[in-house]
Amino acid sequence: MKSIAWKSLKVLRRVPEVLLALAAMGAPLFCQAQVLSLEDWLESHRTIAVARLIENATKLEGAQSGLIVASPSKEAPDYFYHWVRDGALAMDVMASLSLDGTETERSTAKAILESYVTSTLVIQTVQNKSGGLGEPKFHPTGKAFDQDWGRPQNDGPALRALTLIRWATICMLRGDETYVRKFLFDSKLPSESAIKRDLEYVANHIEEPSFDPWEEVMGNHFYHRLVQRAALEQGATLARQLGDTAAAEWYEKQGNTLGEKLLLHLKVERPGVVTTLDQKGGWDHKRSNFDASSLLAALHTRSSPRFSERISHPSILTLANSLVKYYRTHYQINRGQKGILLGRYPEDVYDGVGFSAGHAWILTTLGLAEYYYELARHLQSASIPFNQEITSHQLVRRALRYSQGSGRTPILSVDAVSRALFEMGDHILLRLKDLLPSDGNMYEQLDRSTGESRGASHLSWSYVSFITALKARESCRAAFAKR
């Protein structure tokens, strides 16, 4: 069966306004998912995702504009905080919207980014228990969080720098260098600007262990090292552009050291990427040491010039395959399915509120979909070499079997392979279309047996991952159209 009719992808009709209006009137949308085509469902849910992100960033009582909360949920679980990591990822979506959104989205995104910059300048100097910029989360009023937590988390300042460097570049292209020099990169030491503070922090702490993105393990993580390296590299380019040559050289030097350390995480054999080295504390329960966060690291450095090289690296391909293989057999919800829902890592026991068993996460699942689309897109546009390393990889072979059927020699053209990978992304989106609540609420997790939503509701990061996966899908389709 050819499960996704290629031609039907071109039929794009817009229904989100109607759906939102109906939802606002309280009309039951129970039949929505079944009735809508995948295209219409994606379009309507993208509109909802953008609206919810804006709401989490601006409209909640008790939160300062720009300090986007992880989720509006205040109990079971309490996610009503501004996490530096989640915030940076969400603001990167705002930067995209400021360029390619509708007219209203563009101006809203710009205003949100401006208040994000203003509040970042405040929280960067608030006294906190980490004693520096590695503090993972703040009250959305900007006040420090003073209870025990896994701290520091040194991916935060790197992700924030990456997002703000992107925003600075956009501002400069618009001729707003004065704004950039004043608030984003002032070339001073100590700095009073957001990017330079973050980069100085990152450059001066590259050797130090910190807590992983899941806030459980203290050590040196592939995720942190990769986002830190990308931030330093791109930070060096910005610093040079603004005449801060000494800083540029320092960031490059530290970035290169991280480049060497990253190699220590890469393996030819399974699982492909080792999550954590030199564990120094936190939970000691991750025997398998492979993790969806390492795949997300490749995606979260998508603005880097090395992006295509990275996503096609044999270790990253193998990691993606290790994750698929694990979750397709261990989570009941995946049995007999082509679209696999991913969790965070095999030994996970965080159920979204307390500790029992780990479940599938929307943001890792959509990360896998995005990964398939990006592979397909870069193969189509020839920015990844089309070679045997790709065509013989198990991840690709599975995609070809699903697309072309087993029992015959697969067709191995660039077109056939990239289309098969694109379909793998769509298999995942089709599963989410079946499982997500029809009002568009994206929680943190989906139950590993039933697929029901779990954990924090309206999770900013889930919406972010939906929007970036869709963007990758669109770019991929554009690459197909060009050939």
- Residue 398 found at the interface with ligand NOJ (CB under 6 A): no
- Residue 85 found at the interface with ligand NOJ (CB under 6 A): yes
Query: Mask 264-303, x = binds ligand NOJ (CB under 6 A)?
Result: ----------------------------------------
What's the Cα-to-Cα distance from 48 to each of 85, 258, 417, 482, rounded to whole Å?
Answer: 22, 39, 32, 30
- Residue 218 found at the interface with ligand NOJ (CB under 6 A): no
Closest CA relative to residue 118, chosen from 43, 46, 178, 64 = 64
- The tally of CA atoms less than 13 A away on the side-chain side of residue 29 is 22
Identity (one letter) of the amino acid at 256?
N
- Residue 213 found at the interface with ligand NOJ (CB under 6 A): yes
Contact 62, 69 (CB under 8 A): no
- Residue 186 found at the interface with ligand NOJ (CB under 6 A): no
Which member of 135, 200, 216, 252 binds ligand NOJ (CB under 6 A)? 216
Q: Of 79 and 443, which CB lies nearer to ligand NOJ in the complex structure?
A: 79
Closest approach of Cβ 137 to ligand NOJ, in Å? 8
What's the Cα-to-Cα distance from 482 to each of 4, 170, 222, 308, 478, rounded to whole Å?
Answer: 20, 26, 35, 19, 6
Q: Residues binding ligand NOJ: what is the number (CB under 6 A)? A: 12
- Residue 461 found at the interface with ligand NOJ (CB under 6 A): yes
Query: Mask 108-127, x = binds ligand NOJ (CB under 6 A)?
Result: --------------------
Q: Of 138 and 214, which CB lies nearer to ligand NOJ in the complex structure?
A: 214
- Which tokens sit at 150? 């896994």
Of 176-184, 214-222, 251-259, 314-322, which part binds ligand NOJ (CB under 6 A)? 214-222
CA 398 – CA 408 distance, rounded (Å): 13
Of 11-19, 45-53, 212-220, 240-248, which part binds ligand NOJ (CB under 6 A)? 212-220
Q: Of 15 and 63, which CB lies nearer to ligand NOJ in the complex structure?
A: 63
Q: Which residues of 57-89 are buried (b: 16+ CB within 10 A; e: fewer)?
A: bbebeebbbbbbbbbbbeeebebbbbbbbbbbb
Closest approach of Cβ 216 to ligand NOJ, in Å? 5
Element (H, E) at 292: helix 292-300
Contact 135, 201 (CB under 8 A): no
Q: Which of residues 333-362 bind ligand NOJ (CB under 6 A)?
A: 350
- Residue 224 found at the interface with ligand NOJ (CB under 6 A): no
Catalytic residue status for 260: no
- Residue 223 found at the interface with ligand NOJ (CB under 6 A): no
Closest approach of Cβ 159 to ligand NOJ, in Å? 10
Of 78-86, 306-314, 402-410, 411-419, which part binds ligand NOJ (CB under 6 A)? 78-86
Of 77-85, 93-101, 182-190, 386-394, which part binds ligand NOJ (CB under 6 A)? 77-85
CA 483 – CA 63 distance, rounded (Å): 48
Query: Mask 31-70, x = binds ligand NOJ (CB under 6 A)?
Result: ---------------------------------------x
CA 185 – CA 199 distance, rounded (Å): 10
Cβ neighbour number for residue 153 with a 10 Å cutoff: 25
Closest approach of Cβ 291 to ligand NOJ, in Å? 11
Closest CA relative to residue 55, chosen from 362, 457, 363, 444 = 457
Of 45-53, 81-89, 323-331, 381-389, which part binds ligand NOJ (CB under 6 A)? 81-89
Of the candidates 86, 212, 351, 447, the residue annotated as catalytic is 212
Burial category of 474 from C-beta neighbours within 10 Å (exposed 0-12, middle 13-18, buried 19 and up)? middle
- The tally of CA atoms less than 13 A away on the side-chain side of residue 265 is 28
Which member of 215, 244, 374, 423 binds ligand NOJ (CB under 6 A)? 215
CA 483 – CA 476 distance, rounded (Å): 11
The residue nearest ligand NOJ at its CB is 350
Which member of 44, 54, 64, 83 binds ligand NOJ (CB under 6 A)? 83
Q: Which of residues 189-208 bind ligand NOJ (CB under 6 A)?
A: none
Of the candidates 92, 215, 252, 423, the residue annotated as catalytic is 215
Instruction: List the beta strands (DSSP E) in 357-417.
Output: 360-361
Parallel, antiparallel, or unpaired: how do β-strands 82-83 and 445-446 relate?
unpaired
Contact 460, 91 (CB under 8 A): no
- Residue 86 found at the interface with ligand NOJ (CB under 6 A): yes
Element (H, E) at 121: helix 103-123
Catalytic residue status for 215: yes
Catalogue the active-site residues: 212, 215
Q: Which residues make up the interface to ligand NOJ (CB under 6 A)?
A: 70, 79, 83, 85-86, 150, 213-216, 350, 461
